[in-house]
Chains A and B, each alone.
Chain A
Amino acid sequence: MEIINQTNRTLLLDMINPDKMDLLTLVGDVKGLDSLSDDQMREINQYLECHSYEEMERKFEPTVWSFFDANSQSVRYTLERPENIPASMLTAINLNDYDSFFKTILTVMDSRKAQGLLNVEFHFEQLLEMISPKKVMEDIKLVRKEIQFNYKKYAALEDGDPAKLDLGDKLNLLFEDASKNYNNIMAMLPLAIEDIKTRLLLGNGGPENNGKGVVAGVLTMGDNGELKILEAPKEESTSLAVVDDEVTAGLVEVLADDYQSVNESPNDYVQNLVVRTFCPLTATTPTEIDVQTEVANYNSYLEFYRTSKDNFIKVVKPLVEKLLGIRMFFDQYKSKTKGMMPTLVIANISPEILAKSPNIPRLITYLNTTNSKNNFNDTIWYAIYPNLSWSQNVTNKIHRERFQGNVKKAGTDVYSMEALSTLLNVFKDYRVETFFSFENREETTFNAVAAEGIEKMIERCAPLIGKPYSEFAIPVLPNFTVLPKNKSGVVLDSRMHITDDNGVELSEAKEDIIRLWIEGVYIGGAYVAAGFRAACQCPEYLKNHFNMTKVRTDLELPGVRFDIEAGNHSLMAYTTMPKEITGFTNTIKTQINQKNFGWVFASENASQDGMAITNITVYKARNLLYDTEHSTYEPVYKTQVTTYIERILRYVTGDFKEDNIRDFFSNNPKSQKSKWLAKQDCINAIITEGDSLEYSINDMNGICELTLSFNGSPRNLEVQINRISGI
């Protein structure tokens, strides 16, 4: 791949973090400019180009801002940094693997993939409990165990011992992790909730003790032989505790100091809470518990936790869906040997803004730089346009809402068909193929397609069909479901109340169970389709997937001609997404096959060489260019092969010099066409068996007409010949 070394650089048309640089800002003023300087391009790549999910996370730091609203006495979250609130009042929550919600969603995805279960079979509820305070506490227990273990060893070693310094490094890391929990009050809430539960109910929440104080005792026999549990005298237990007490006392001190230094406005209650959480002590000095206050605190903490978590999830869900999309884009590239790794350039700006007239010259200037040069390192081949608005037809009007229904609000993260068509009009000039998927909702999932077919999708894509840019528009369906709407309830805990005999118990009444609803998490199909197609461009990837067959892979050619629909290709190369449903009915499949519409994923039962495929496969890979002769939509590979050949032709022929064009197509074994023909049997051949590549030069108008014939289906390409003056 000496000329074109990548054919899978992808532009994501979406915003991840408004505080970070975006394409328009980096391109800057383009008045009088045809293209950007190399320095500018390097800067854009430095800020926006990502080769992996981790790099994206590092560069864009997806963040949610939270602040406390004194008026509503609640925690407010926003994806955009509120400008009218002082920085000291704002808390930035980074959406990384440490965030409990994001972690939960990732765990759901991973375990479903590992188990290979369908949505209907998978127990989402169990994993969703991870958001509850109980699970937060369980995570902390792991950390604290490690802290205690290491601190104990640390305390035992002499000062200056190199091993002690090593342990010091380890402890620093552990404290760093731990401090993430106690440097903001919100993170402390689950700790406080569990702490109260531990102290009042011995942590098990059972009614056995009725909340009465628990005192350790010893089992003895009375004078008459009856069994008795006597309160153990405190001084007698010291022999065991003393050894540890020195260590724990040290740890208590370190934690208290750390809390004091990390927090700007520390208070004793939270300090004790932190100490109790990270260093539980045997109560050598028992303290009296004010049951009523603690129960009231517990209930208000729980309610506050629920409300804030609910608010948080509502705000963060769209961002999480984008992040999951990006994660899955990169996740598609699973290859033992790395070759042409997919690259994602994140515009970090809403496509609606990008599509405005004043901003298009900037986009054009950028694309002029990337796609109109004979340097193909930065060439953008694909674009992702997620969350296309799924506008709804008016159905029977409902005059009165008898039951509470879904609030149909215009999503701020939903992008319009108008913006898409404007951008496609620009992209067509630069031959950028755009994967777009409809907004994330139940109507666009596998379930909906399985039930209703693809008619509605076709109907909604109608404005893009029959246009000059149709060839570059790839509608992707359906979207992927990470968490179905009907299984997204999370039980946090139950309210606590004081019993008649002044005991404490967790309420079992239905209304006292504190529950929140995530309302479904989905991944736009466009991310996965683009990621998968980008992966298929890499010859190493193809080789890995087709090494079982006898078909050769040429490591010098990209996978532009790789037709996923051909033969059993879709069973050899498939997505990393787990199956979601039992499959489409034959009627729906007939409908899809008749229309040959769009990039359609399938969740079908299939096996290859005796191995069951538990992943989602690609069923159709078509764009919106309608071939009236065959009454079908065109496969996507044709467009990319045409683009690839045009670019290679331009490069090899020195911008379409007539003589060079003749050489290009000559029968000379060194001509480009001959080289391609020699590799006809490869899985990633540019010209496969049955294809042909012909040309004719029209001397009158100086046009070279190329006829690419894909298995008999021709595609024309016209290039303007660059004639040397005087000839």
Chain B
Amino acid sequence: MRKKFSLVHFFIVVCIFLLVVKNPCFVYAEGTKEKAVVFLLDVSGSMKSNDPNRYAIDSIAQFIYTLPSNFEIGFVAYNAEVCAEQILLKNAHRNEIMKVAETVQYTGYSNAGAGMMQAVEMLLDTSATEKAIVLLSDGECLMQDEDATKISYTAYQSATVQAKQNGIRIHVVGLGEEMEDIENSIFQAATKTGGGVYHSPHALDIQHSIDAILQEQFRIKQMTAAVIDAGEDAVKMEIDIPFAHASTVRVLLTSSSPIRDLTTNLNAEGVRQVNGERYSLIEIDNPKKDKMEFSFSGVSGNQIRMILIPEYWVTPKASVSYQDCVPDVPDALTYEREATITYTFHDMENNNIQLWTEDYFAHSKLSVEKAGNFEEGTLADGQLQTHETVTEHSESEVSFGFAEFPANILGSDTVKIVLEEPPALPIEEPDQFPYTIYVVLFLTIVLVIAAIIVFRLMKNKQPTVIPDDDGRPEPGKSSYVGRLNIYITRTASGYDISPLSYDLFRLPSTRVISMAEILESCGLKETFAGAGRIFISSGQGRSVILTNQSDCCIMKSGEILMKKKSYQLFAGAKVDIMFEDEISELTFQYRELKPSEMY
């Protein structure tokens, strides 16, 4: 038994690398997680003094247009009561929200309770997995009398409780002096529901608060592409968009002063431009180029910040390769199997497109979670690899965390992995094993031969067959130093063919080349009858020798060249050939090249 095993062991060691096989594993994708946000805006009269330039409205636009496509967004504005609202809308209809937001006027009391109730109710109706409210207010509840204020406050409190119970997080942006105290009742909603608290002393700072919410609370990945000192003159610039195959790239320009005359030049499947007073957003669907040209003008002394927000719809795929080796343990029954799991990420629409292969994503961090175990990995060439020792058949679901990934990821984030158990160590007779190998090898050879035959049959044109006795002249002894400029003046198919050139100087001096070979190497599909028997060889004195063994009519300098004769062609010589089919014609000119031109 011991001896038998050592023979087996020997063969295994020899063939160990042949056993590395790659098995595609079963993959399935889940739907994207839907998220919902309601922007709750205080439009009470006090806002008039805190935000006379209506920067808050611009910030809504900045907020809603920056959020990825899987967000449903609603809008509620309140003063003494809810004065404007827009139900939760999908990505394509976000402009409807702006239409409503732009109509609101800062007037009346502040009934934050009614506003919050409405916002929470709106979110209760949706099936989104993550829900949040962003409240922008410049003060606490304030109604016409104390009772009404108290009712409003109570409503606010109960709405907050309801929000917490339903997993709704409330982020509060306080504007102005009155909101300096982050302990006040309005901010309580944030602390109770685990939301963020932000304070903007001035209306101009709202932009920064919104920016912070997007990054800290919603984890929106963005890249600052440029910060430009604006001037009255138009600024023209080009930025890189290193997001190949991104579903959407949003380019957001923000400034504290108006952005004017924005024009863009880019290649993409679709483009949407939204211009506000102090921001502009360009939403690019499937950008086709990695560059984009801008021109715009601003106001002197102000800076314009340009942010890129990439968004990918992703389907992860995994493939597993195994490396089996014989274990050191003497009585082991199976191989020691090490699985290398390679995760790749593909465009959801077109699974053939592998994403993130660009340098920009190299070493980007991803977390992989499998059966409660977290592992962190980095991307290399768009791939993430993990290793695992396999002892038995297992099926597991792997999910990815993109928290530190520099792009916004939508689509599926899980993939199913099937790991096959290691094969049992062979116990067959040693002489049976090569037989299997031979069968495999034989089948492989048969397949290769069949593939070659099919490939040859599928080719339109037969390769130029050079018969042994085709009258090919003796090769010359001199080097080739020129080029043929070829002009197909007439073809059997009637197609026009662009001028061609063939570098003779690249040929060794011993090579005799036929016109058919020259035309074929120029990529011509047409057949020129008799071209296979017209030969060019190198001649003395920087010339070439033309030998005609065909029935083509060849003319040069006003005479017809005789068949089976050779003629010396010097620089500038022009030759006309009428081929045997009496339709096709070409003219070529032999150009001598100077040493510096032979490259």
Give complex CA distance A418, B498 in Å.
10
* Chain B residues whose C-beta falls within 8 Å of the C-beta of A364 in the assembled complex: 574, 587, 589
With contacts A393-B265, A397-B271, A429-B591 known, is A357 near B496, CB below 8 A?
Answer: yes
In whole Å, how far is B531's beta carbon from the nearest beta carbon of chain A?
16
A468 at the interface (CB under 8 A from B): yes
The reply to whether A701 and B499 form a contact with Cβ atoms under 8 Å apart is no
In whole Å, how far is B321's beta carbon from the nearest beta carbon of chain A?
43
Interface stretch (choices A26-34, A150-158, A183-191, A628-636) = A26-34
A208 at the interface (CB under 8 A from B): no
The reply to whether A357 and B499 form a contact with Cβ atoms under 8 Å apart is yes
Give complex CA distance A33, B264 in Å.
55
List CB contacts (< 8 Å) of B463-504 with chain A: 485, 487-490, 496-499, 501
Q: Which residue of A lies closest to B498 (CB)?
A: A357
The reply to whether A33 and B558 form a contact with Cβ atoms under 8 Å apart is yes
A386 at the interface (CB under 8 A from B): no
B370 at the interface (CB under 8 A from A): no
A713 at the interface (CB under 8 A from B): no
The reply to whether A32 and B560 form a contact with Cβ atoms under 8 Å apart is yes
Q: Which residue of B lies closest to A702 (CB)?
A: B542
Give complex CA distance A468, B488 in Å.
22
The reply to whether B572 and A361 form a contact with Cβ atoms under 8 Å apart is no
* Chain A residues whose C-beta falls within 8 Å of the C-beta of B585 in the assembled complex: 31
B597 at the interface (CB under 8 A from A): yes
Q: Which of A33, A395, A425, A426 is within 8 Å of B265, CB to CB?
A: A395
Q: What string of 1s and 0s marks CB contacts (under 8 Å) between B253-279 and chain A?
A: 000000000011111001101000000
In whole Å, how far is A359's beta carbon from the nearest beta carbon of chain B?
8
Q: Which residue of A lies closest to B282 (CB)?
A: A396
The reply to whether B489 and A361 form a contact with Cβ atoms under 8 Å apart is yes
List CB contacts (< 8 Å) of A688-722 with chain B: 701, 703, 716, 718, 720
List CB contacts (< 8 Å) of A334-367 with chain B: 356-358, 360-361, 364-365
The reply to whether A357 and B497 form a contact with Cβ atoms under 8 Å apart is yes
Q: What string of 1s and 0s marks CB contacts (under 8 Å) between A410-429 and chain B?
A: 00000000100010011001
Q: Which residue of B lies closest to A355 (CB)?
A: B499
The reply to whether B489 and A357 form a contact with Cβ atoms under 8 Å apart is yes
Q: Which residue of B lies closest to A429 (CB)?
A: B591
A394 at the interface (CB under 8 A from B): yes
Q: What string of 1s and 0s marks CB contacts (under 8 Å) between B560-574 and chain A?
A: 100000000001111
In whole Å, how far is A40's beta carbon from the nearest beta carbon of chain B?
13
Give complex CA distance A716, B271 in Å.
52
Q: Give the interface centre of B266, B273, B559, B573 by most chain A CB atoms within 10 Å.
A: B266
The reply to whether A703 and B591 form a contact with Cβ atoms under 8 Å apart is no
The reply to whether A425 and B573 form a contact with Cβ atoms under 8 Å apart is no
Q: What string of 1s and 0s marks CB contacts (under 8 Å) between B31-42 and chain A?
A: 000000000000
Q: What string of 1s and 0s marks CB contacts (under 8 Å) between A535-563 and chain B?
A: 00000000000000000000000000000
Q: Which of A356, A426, A703, A716 is within 8 Å of B496, CB to CB?
A: A356
In whole Å, how far is B274's beta carbon from the nearest beta carbon of chain A?
13
Give complex CA distance A425, B559 in Å.
27
* Chain A residues whose C-beta falls within 8 Å of the C-beta of B487 in the assembled complex: 357-358, 360-361
Size category of the A interface is: 20 to 34
Give complex CA distance A368, B587 in Å.
14
* Chain A residues whose C-beta falls within 8 Å of the C-beta of B271 in the assembled complex: 396-397
* Chain A residues whose C-beta falls within 8 Å of the C-beta of B264 in the assembled complex: 395-396
A643 at the interface (CB under 8 A from B): no
In whole Å, how far is A35's beta carbon from the nearest beta carbon of chain B?
9
* Chain B residues whose C-beta falls within 8 Å of the C-beta of A33 in the assembled complex: 557-558, 574
Q: What string of 1s and 0s marks CB contacts (under 8 Å) between B574-599 and chain A?
A: 10101000000101010110111100
Give complex CA distance A34, B569 in Å.
12
The reply to whether B576 and A361 form a contact with Cβ atoms under 8 Å apart is yes
* Chain B residues whose C-beta falls within 8 Å of the C-beta of A718 in the assembled complex: 594-596
* Chain B residues whose C-beta falls within 8 Å of the C-beta of A32 in the assembled complex: 555-560, 576
A372 at the interface (CB under 8 A from B): yes
The reply to whether A360 and B499 form a contact with Cβ atoms under 8 Å apart is yes
* Chain B residues whose C-beta falls within 8 Å of the C-beta of A468 in the assembled complex: 597
* Chain A residues whose C-beta falls within 8 Å of the C-beta of B595 in the assembled complex: 701, 703, 718
In whole Å, how far is B429's beta carbon from the nearest beta carbon of chain A?
68
Interface residue count on the B side (C-beta < 8 Å):
40
The reply to whether A422 and B498 form a contact with Cβ atoms under 8 Å apart is yes
* Chain B residues whose C-beta falls within 8 Å of the C-beta of A397 in the assembled complex: 270-271
List CB contacts (< 8 Å) of A413-449 with chain B: 418, 422, 425-426, 429
In whole Å, how far is A614's beta carbon from the nearest beta carbon of chain B?
29
In whole Å, how far is B54's beta carbon from the nearest beta carbon of chain A?
27
With contacts A32-B555, A357-B488, A361-B574 known, is A716 near B499, CB below 8 A?
Answer: no
In whole Å, how far is A10's beta carbon from the nearest beta carbon of chain B?
23
Q: What string of 1s and 0s marks CB contacts (under 8 Å) between B300-331 and chain A?
A: 00000000000000000000000000000000
* Chain B residues whose C-beta falls within 8 Å of the C-beta of A356 in the assembled complex: 496
* Chain B residues whose C-beta falls within 8 Å of the C-beta of A357 in the assembled complex: 487-489, 496-499
In whole Å, how far is A469's beta carbon from the nearest beta carbon of chain B?
12
With contacts A34-B574, A422-B498, A716-B596 known, is A361 near B587, CB below 8 A?
Answer: yes
The reply to whether A368 and B574 form a contact with Cβ atoms under 8 Å apart is yes
The reply to whether B596 and A34 form a contact with Cβ atoms under 8 Å apart is no
Q: Which residue of B lies closest to A399 (CB)?
A: B270
Give complex CA distance A361, B585 in Å.
12
* Chain A residues whose C-beta falls within 8 Å of the C-beta of B576 in the assembled complex: 30-32, 361
* Chain A residues whose C-beta falls within 8 Å of the C-beta of B559 in the assembled complex: 32
Give complex CA distance A214, B542 in Å.
93
The reply to whether A358 and B558 form a contact with Cβ atoms under 8 Å apart is no
Give complex CA distance A396, B269 in Å.
10
Give complex CA distance A243, B496 in Å.
76
* Chain B residues whose C-beta falls within 8 Å of the C-beta of A358 in the assembled complex: 487-490, 496
The reply to whether B267 and A394 form a contact with Cβ atoms under 8 Å apart is yes
Give complex CA distance A34, B587 in Å.
11
* Chain B residues whose C-beta falls within 8 Å of the C-beta of A422 in the assembled complex: 498-499
Q: Which residue of A lies closest to B272 (CB)?
A: A396
Give complex CA distance A268, B239 in Å.
74
In whole Å, how far is B516's beta carbon from the nearest beta carbon of chain A?
18
* Chain B residues whose C-beta falls within 8 Å of the C-beta of A34 in the assembled complex: 556-558, 572-574
Give complex CA distance A393, B560 in Å.
51
The reply to whether A365 and B273 form a contact with Cβ atoms under 8 Å apart is no
In whole Å, how far is B279's beta carbon from the nearest beta carbon of chain A?
18
Q: Which of B267, B273, B594 is within 8 Å of A703, CB to CB?
A: B594
In whole Å, how far is A372's beta carbon from the nearest beta carbon of chain B?
6
* Chain A residues whose C-beta falls within 8 Å of the C-beta of B578 in the assembled complex: 31
* Chain B residues whose C-beta falls within 8 Å of the C-beta of A394 in the assembled complex: 267
Give complex CA distance A468, B571 in Å.
18
* Chain B residues whose C-beta falls within 8 Å of the C-beta of A716 in the assembled complex: 596
* Chain B residues whose C-beta falls within 8 Å of the C-beta of A365 in the assembled complex: 574
The reply to whether B496 and A720 form a contact with Cβ atoms under 8 Å apart is no
Q: Which residue of B lies closest to A452 (CB)?
A: B236
Q: Give the interface centre of B265, B498, B557, B592 by most chain A CB atoms within 10 Å.
A: B498
In whole Å, how far is B502's beta carbon from the nearest beta carbon of chain A?
14
* Chain A residues whose C-beta falls within 8 Å of the C-beta of B596 in the assembled complex: 716, 718
Give complex CA distance A425, B589 in Å.
13
Give complex CA distance A721, B515 in Å.
30
Give complex CA distance A703, B592 in Å.
12
List CB contacts (< 8 Å) of A22-57 with chain B: 30-34
Give complex CA distance A718, B489 in Å.
32
Give complex CA distance A368, B267 in Å.
46
In whole Å, how far is A9's beta carbon from the nearest beta carbon of chain B?
20
Give complex CA distance A436, B589 in Å.
26
Q: Give the interface centre of B485, B488, B571 by most chain A CB atoms within 10 Å.
A: B485
Sample of 11 more A-B contacts, CB < 8 Å, known A31-B587, A34-B572: A30-B576, A33-B558, A357-B496, A358-B496, A361-B489, A368-B574, A422-B498, A429-B591, A718-B594, A718-B596, A720-B592
Q: Can you list 6 residue pairs at the A/B interface with Cβ under 8 Å?
A: A34-B574, A357-B489, A364-B587, A395-B264, A429-B485, A718-B594
Which 6 pairs between the two chains have the least Cβ-Cβ distance? A32-B555, A361-B587, A718-B594, A358-B489, A31-B576, A357-B487
Which A residues are within 8 Å of any B CB, using their own CB? Answer: 30-34, 356-358, 360-361, 364-365, 368, 372, 393-397, 418, 422, 425-426, 429, 468, 701, 703, 716, 718, 720
